[in-house]
Amino acid sequence: MSIRLLPPTLVNRIAAGEVIERPAAAVKELVENALDAGASRIDVVLENGGQTRIAVVDDGCGMSSEELLLAVERHCTSKLPDDDLLRIRHLGFRGEALPSIGAVSRLEITSRPRGSEAAWRLRVEGGEKGALAPAAHPPGTRVEVRDLFYATPARLKFLKTPRTERDAAVDAVQRLAMAWPQIAFSVTADEGRALLKLAPASDRRTRLAAILGRDFADNAVEIAAEREGARLSGLAGLPTLARATAKDQYLFVNGRPVRDKLLLGAVRGAYQDLLAGDRHAMVALFLELPAEEVDVNVHPAKAEVRFRDSQMVRGLIVGALRHALAAAGHRASTTVAATALHAFRAPPSMGMLALQPRPSARELAEAQALYAPPPAAAEPAPAAAEEPEPAELYPLGLARAQLHDTYILAETRNGFVLVDQHAAHERLVYERMKAALAANGVARQALLLPEVVELDEKAAALVAGRAEELAQLGLVLEPFGPGAVVVREVPALLGDKVEVAALVRDLADELAELGEAFALKERLEEVCGTLACHGSVRAGRKLSVPEMNALLRQMEATPHSGQCNHGRPTYVELRREDIERLFGRR
Amino acid sequence: MKLTIERAALLRALGHVQSVVERRNTIPILSNVMLKAEKGKLSLAATDMDIEIVERVPAQVSRDGATTAPAHTLYDIVRKLREGAQIELDAGSDRGSMTLRSGRSTFTLQCLPPEDYPHLAGGELPHTFQLTASELKQLIDRTRFAISTEETRYYLNGIYFHATRSNEMPVLRAVATDGHRLARVEMMCPEGAAGMPGVIVPRKTVGELRKLIDENEGEIGLALSETKIRFAFGEATLTSKLIDGTFPDYDRVIPTGNDKILEVDCKTFAEAVDRVATISTEKSRAVKLSLDKNTLVLSATSPENGTATEELEVRYNAAPMEIGFNSRYLLDIAEQIEGEGVQFAMSDAASPTVVRDTADPSALYVLMPMRV
């Protein structure tokens, strides 16, 4: 068969296969176009999950009739004014979206430029451009996509249920909405039901709260950091707000939602040792950097980006998150308290209680004798007798009692906290060990029989390339011909049961996947964690009031003391309002 | 099968064989001990498919026969019977059970047919030689502490026995290493051992063997092939599979040119190391040795607790140096030294150190330093 040039409609369908893989992708492209057009409100209508009809209406700058004709042509765009791919300031730039959508659906665009009196309509069906027709439309653009993928039945077959596709589309809009708080968004389903309705918000926190829920906004710390012209802002959830999947990690580069491995790796690195391995933090991070520092032209759907200086970006994210989380100190999320509140039940009806016979006077006297405090001489220093410290002075308040020999009850200025003594002390011991490890370096045990670990060539080079960094963590290795490394020293902390080969393989995988070696650090921290667990006050141990207060004061002074090493909370706080609500006083 | 036996004799034999039996088994019969009565003797056998111990004890046999009974249960019953009691074992024609009577106690145990019992013994064991109990004990005791417990390098999970030549003399050597330290012990090669292949005896076998040695004086007969080894003690026989792997070329890692020689009284040294290491709370318990002319300063630091130092008078004439070790490894080796003095031959803080008993050249230990 001879080689021939493919007809343009087919070319467009092939391109559509890459750019428009499902209705959500079409919605994303169209909303991005609206954003690039400077819209202040964007309304999306989805019918049958977007399969039957997608409509995106904006009040942006609109298009004249000539522009309209060009817009549906391939590689036609208004967004690269100086033909410079290194300076991409718009969300789109390739001029692929509209022709791609047009190639696989029945597309109808109606637009009226701002300041113009006339609106025009253009139809494209399966790549065939129709004629321009005058229409009635307010300033802005309305794009309607009907019967998406009707021209590519194979693709149609692979769509999921309308519900799944609809959720994906809403998710795409939500992501964009997070990045553009000042713009109003709405998504409506076929039967007129509002799936998403976002009023213009004055700041990001409000918008994020509207999308991710109050919980997130209340239990996240503000991130703001700048380094070498790159700016990171957003919200990072407290470790106690962790989720089972990484789904709730929203990352944006110059207002563009991305799922980039480097960035996800950096987030994981920042939360390392605050979360158990299978928990994931909730974050919404916005990275702004000069257009020439980032290449967005690497992925058809632009979900991945490349940075000129990826180490700087990584450092910025890890540094900023760590700093903010450390500053949050002992804060545990209020969701924990909310769960606790739900656990409280009102007592059974009073009628039942009244039926019980009243205790006789004698019984009461006996009971009182049992519960009476021992004579003052037997208890030399009750807490109140000490200097009367005002509870206001301390965020975690003053210890009032120990419950079940396990929990410390402390009264704070406006409520009380309940501290799990073991979890709290474990974290304190662990943080102390970590500080010692950082200050003194990791002791290394040299190997009598150096262990040769076979890897593939790329992985071996990758691991050997980070030899210096690994040596600081106690693992000394060298390249050993192509495709192997030889391990000469291992961290003494890991003992003599360390499976060197498995460790090095894990490291290689992580370096390839995330660009950083977590496994070694994690194992060291795991050992520290176990030691910390054994070296800390257990549940069931009685503590005196000064001991409890000392623990509370240490918690206030220690970073990350709001959660134990596994991300569980070390304490819950119930505010006075909450208590009052429990008793119906509010 | 019907027999009467004295409690102490049965208990002793059961004690030997039952420890081979794993607590949990997927093959039911492996939880059992095989009992076989013939010619005035009761023979007991137990196996985990890797090790088999067979022991014979005299008994008043009134009817020959065989059965298999739950090993741990039987052992516990016999253990709890009164001292000096006579025990009657009776496995009648109904072979699904065995009755144990002693005084007024009667137990009926569920049994499995003896024909199904797996036998490890068998196969040719061409190399045979004799060792005294104390010789074998020396070979094992001085090396077993260095056996690796890490499973990926399975060929290090045992003691490597092989015949070689040392200083032109034929020797039998036992070597064990866990990759951090190595222990090598040798003895004059006994007759018949010269042609034996190098074999790795697994850790569990070493443990069982050690218990048997303790209770048996005199000669032990060894027989081995490339896959199995058998130790014969009077009435007891232990047969074990060997680790199917190649022991590393350990000679390569034993340095020969270490010229910085430290000699110190072993007991004083061990006590000092133990004292100084108290301060370090870490798992790795590093101890630093600072050497200068005829003095050794042991020191340890802990970020939490503080520091510890102890000075010792030693014999040392080389250039001053510092070297760190895991204190546990130092103590393990010091424990093996029976003479008064211990000698360390060092090169630098990153290279292996050779440790010897000054009075006894048969044992040698290699220890890798720790980098603090």
Reading the block at residue A174, the tokens are 């939500």
**What is the pLDDT, as a whole number, of residue A362?**
52
- The more confident residue out of A334 and B148 is B148
* Range ranked top by mean pLDDT from A490-494, B190-194, B224-228: B224-228
Q: Does A530 touch chain B (CB under 8 A)?
A: no
The C-alpha atoms of residue A233 and residue A231 are separated, in whole angstroms, by 7
Nearest to A448 among B149, B180, B283 (CB): B180
**What is the pLDDT, as a whole number, of residue B223?**
92
**What is the pLDDT, as a whole number, of residue A97?**
81
The C-alpha atoms of residue A558 and residue A331 are separated, in whole angstroms, by 11
The C-alpha atoms of residue A447 and residue A457 are separated, in whole angstroms, by 24
- B248 and A501 within 8 Å at the Cβ level: the answer is no
Structural domain count of chain B: 3
**What is the pLDDT, as a whole number, of residue B159?**
95
DSSP assignment of A265-328: HHHHHHHBTTB-TT-B--EEEEEE--GGGEE-TTSTT----EETTHHHHHHHHHHHHHHHHHHH
- The more confident residue out of B28 and A498 is B28
- Cα A199 from chain centre: 23
Mutate to test the interface with B, among A433, A449, A486, A528 (most CBs of B within 10 A): A449
Q: Which residues of B touch A524 (CB under 8 A)?
A: none
Residue B372 located in a structural domain: no
Strands A230-237, A283-288: parallel, antiparallel or unpaired by DSSP? antiparallel
Mutate to test the interface with B, among A437, A448, A490 (most CBs of B within 10 A): A448
Residue A270 located in a structural domain: yes
The answer on B234 and B137 residing in a single domain is: yes
**What is the pLDDT, as a whole number, of residue A350?**
40
* Whole-number average pLDDT of chain B: 89
The answer on B132 and B241 residing in a single domain is: yes
The C-alpha atoms of residue B90 and residue B99 are separated, in whole angstroms, by 5
The answer on A552 and A486 residing in a single domain is: no
Strands A256-258, A306-307: parallel, antiparallel or unpaired by DSSP? unpaired
The C-alpha atoms of residue A537 and residue A443 are separated, in whole angstroms, by 27
The answer on B235 and B149 residing in a single domain is: yes
- The more confident residue out of A300 and A98 is A98
CA-closest candidate to residue A225, choices A87, A309, A322? A322
Report DSSP state, residue A563: B
- A492 and B177 within 8 Å at the Cβ level: the answer is no
The answer on A50 and A24 residing in a single domain is: yes
User: What distances in angstroms separate CA B6 from CA A488, B46, B57, B84, B360, one per listed residue?
Assistant: 58, 20, 10, 7, 45
Q: Cα-atom radius of gyration of chain B, to the nearest Å?
A: 25
**What is the pLDDT, as a whole number, of residue B136?**
92
Residue A436 located in a structural domain: no
Which A-chain residues 396-455 have CB contacts (< 8 A) with chain B? Answer: 432, 436, 439-440, 443-449, 451
Residue B17 located in a structural domain: yes
* Percent of all residues in chain A with a pLDDT value above 90, rounded to a whole number: 5
- B284 and A498 within 8 Å at the Cβ level: the answer is no
pLDDT digits (tens, 9 = 90+) for B54-78: 999 999 998 888 999 999 999 999 9
The answer on B235 and B348 residing in a single domain is: no
The answer on A227 and A194 residing in a single domain is: no
CA-closest candidate to residue B30, choices B46, B52, B43, B16? B46
* Percent of all residues in chain A with a pLDDT value above 70, rounded to a whole number: 85
The answer on B306 and B220 residing in a single domain is: no
Residue A286 located in a structural domain: yes
- The more confident residue out of A459 and A519 is A459
Q: How many interchain CB pairs under 8 A, A with B?
A: 77
Nearest to A489 among B248, B286, B371 (CB): B371
Residue type, A80: L
Determine the 3-state secondary structure of B355 from DSSP.
Answer: strand
Q: What is the pTM of this model?
A: 0.63
User: Which CATH number covers residue A481?
Assistant: 3.30.1370.100
Nearest to A496 among B150, B366, B369 (CB): B150
The answer on A485 and A568 residing in a single domain is: no
The answer on A183 and A60 residing in a single domain is: yes
The answer on A530 and A578 residing in a single domain is: no
Residue A434 located in a structural domain: no
The C-alpha atoms of residue B363 and residue B138 are separated, in whole angstroms, by 10
Nearest to B284 among A439, A492, A501 (CB): A492
pLDDT digits (tens, 9 = 90+) for A162-209: 888 888 899 889 989 988 889 999 999 877 788 888 888 888 888 888
pLDDT digits (tens, 9 = 90+) for A248-285: 889 998 888 888 888 888 888 888 777 776 778 888 99
pLDDT digits (tens, 9 = 90+) for A435-454: 777 777 778 888 888 888 88
The answer on B216 and B175 residing in a single domain is: yes
User: What distances in angstroms separate CA B152 from CA A155, A404, A519, B104, B284, one per listed residue?
Assistant: 48, 45, 18, 52, 22
- Show which of B201, B228, B252 is a domain's final residue: B252
Chain A residue nearest residue B328, CA to CA: A495
Nearest to B284 among A443, A447, A449 (CB): A443
What mean pLDDT do residues A498-517 have? 78
**What is the pLDDT, as a whole number, of residue A375?**
44
The answer on A81 and A26 residing in a single domain is: yes
In this model, does residue B42 exceed pLDDT 90? Answer: yes
Q: Where are the alpha helices (DSSP H) in A132-191?
A: 153-157, 162-179
| Residue A26, C-beta contacts closer than 8 angstroms, at least 6 positions apart | A20, A50, A54, A101, A105, A145, A148
Whether A391 and A552 have beta carbons less than 8 Å apart is answered as: no
The answer on A105 and A177 residing in a single domain is: yes
pLDDT digits (tens, 9 = 90+) for A53-93: 999 999 988 888 888 888 887 777 777 666 666 666 677 76
Report the first-to-last Cα separation within chain A, whole angstroms.
82
The answer on B270 and B248 residing in a single domain is: no
**What is the pLDDT, as a whole number, of residue A338?**
61
| Beta-carbon-side half-sphere exposure of residue A376 (alpha carbons within 13 Å) | 3
Determine the 3-state secondary structure of B230 from DSSP.
Answer: strand
- A446 and B370 within 8 Å at the Cβ level: the answer is yes
Give residue A352's pLDDT band: very low, low, confident or very high (50, 70, 90).
Answer: very low
- Show which of A140, A174, A198 is a domain's final residue: A198
Residue B121 located in a structural domain: no
**What is the pLDDT, as a whole number, of residue A142?**
92
What mean pLDDT do residues B231-238 have? 90
- B180 and A444 within 8 Å at the Cβ level: the answer is no
**How many angstroms separate the CA of residue B159 from the nearest CA in chain A?**
16
Structural domain count of chain A: 4
- Show which of B198, B221, B252 is a domain's final residue: B252
Q: Which of B71-75, B87-91, B279-283 has the lowest mean pLDDT?
A: B279-283
Q: Which residues of A touch B367 (CB under 8 A)?
A: 448
Chain B residue nearest residue A445, CA to CA: B370
**What is the pLDDT, as a whole number, of residue B284?**
65
The answer on B259 and B247 residing in a single domain is: no
The answer on B177 and B210 residing in a single domain is: yes
**What is the pLDDT, as a whole number, of residue A361?**
52
Q: Does A495 touch chain B (CB under 8 A)?
A: yes
Q: Does B242 touch chain A (CB under 8 A)?
A: no
- A485's enclosing H/E stretch is strand A484-491
Give residue A337's pLDDT band: very low, low, confident or very high (50, 70, 90).
Answer: low
What mean pLDDT do residues A226-237 have? 87
The answer on A448 and A388 residing in a single domain is: no
The C-alpha atoms of residue B333 and residue A226 are separated, in whole angstroms, by 56
Determine the 3-state secondary structure of B352 from DSSP.
Answer: coil
Residue A575 located in a structural domain: yes
The answer on B269 and B218 residing in a single domain is: no
Q: Which of B29-33, B116-120, B316-320 has the lowest mean pLDDT?
A: B116-120
Give residue A526's pLDDT band: very low, low, confident or very high (50, 70, 90).
Answer: confident
- B182 and A448 within 8 Å at the Cβ level: the answer is yes
The answer on A208 and A193 residing in a single domain is: no
Residue A329 φ then ψ, to 5°: 55, -120
Residue A564: domain span: 334-346+354-425+540-582
- Show which of B94, B116, B138 is a domain's final residue: B116
The answer on B244 and B131 residing in a single domain is: yes
DSSP assignment of A396-437: T-EEEEEETTTEEEEEETTEEEEEEHHHHHHHHHHHHHHHHH
The answer on B298 and B245 residing in a single domain is: no
In this model, does residue A356 exceed pLDDT 50? Answer: no
**How many angstroms separate the CA of residue A454 from the nearest CA in chain B?**
14
Residue type, B372: V
**What is the pLDDT, as a whole number, of residue A418?**
86
What mean pLDDT do residues A338-344 have? 59
pLDDT digits (tens, 9 = 90+) for B152-176: 888 999 999 999 988 888 999 999 9
DSSP assignment of A114-132: TT-S-EEEEEEETTEE---
Residue B177: domain span: 127-252
* Dihedral sign computed on CA atoms, order A486, A489, A490, A495: positive
* Whole-number average pLDDT of chain A: 79
User: Which CATH number covers residue B112?
Assistant: 3.10.150.10
